[in-house]
């Protein structure tokens, strides 16, 4: 897999390495309330799979943040946690 120097991907890569995992997805909330994720896969197919998994989870977690009264506001409500 080509090296991705992004600091977010480095965290996901480090998590996978420490856990002995071939894939990792990391979700984070910044102090300013913005949130995001990074995904990592050891090979190109695993990386693509981790990204699909992360995209799905991210899309379905947006409504969760508002319903749980966290510091972030989603773009839209809905998803798995209704």
Report pLDDT for 74: 42
- Angstrom distance (rounded) from CA 18 to CA 82: 33
**Which of 58 and 42 is assigned the larger pLDDT?**
42
Residue 40 has pLDDT above 70, yes or no: yes
Q: What are the DSSP calls for 11-42, one per residue?
A: HHHHHHHHHT-SEEEEEEE-TTS-EEEEEEES
Report pLDDT for 65: 58
pLDDT per position as a tens digit, 59-79: 887 666 555 555 444 433 333
Average pLDDT over residues 31-40: 83
The residue length of the chain stands at: 82
Measured in degrees and rounded to the nearest 5, phi and psi for residue 49 equal -65, -40
Average pLDDT over residues 49-60: 90
């Amino acid at each position: 897999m080509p090296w991705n120097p992004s600091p977010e991907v480095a965290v996901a890569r480090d998590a996978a390495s420490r856990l002995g995992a071939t894939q990792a997805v990391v979700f984070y909330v910044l102090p300013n309330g913005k949130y995001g994720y990074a995904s990592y896969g050891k090979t190109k197919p695993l990386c693509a799979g981790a990204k699909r998994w992360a995209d799905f989870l991210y899309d379905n977690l947006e409504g969760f943040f508002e319903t749980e009264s966290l510091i972030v506001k989603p773009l839209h409500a809905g998803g798995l946690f209704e």
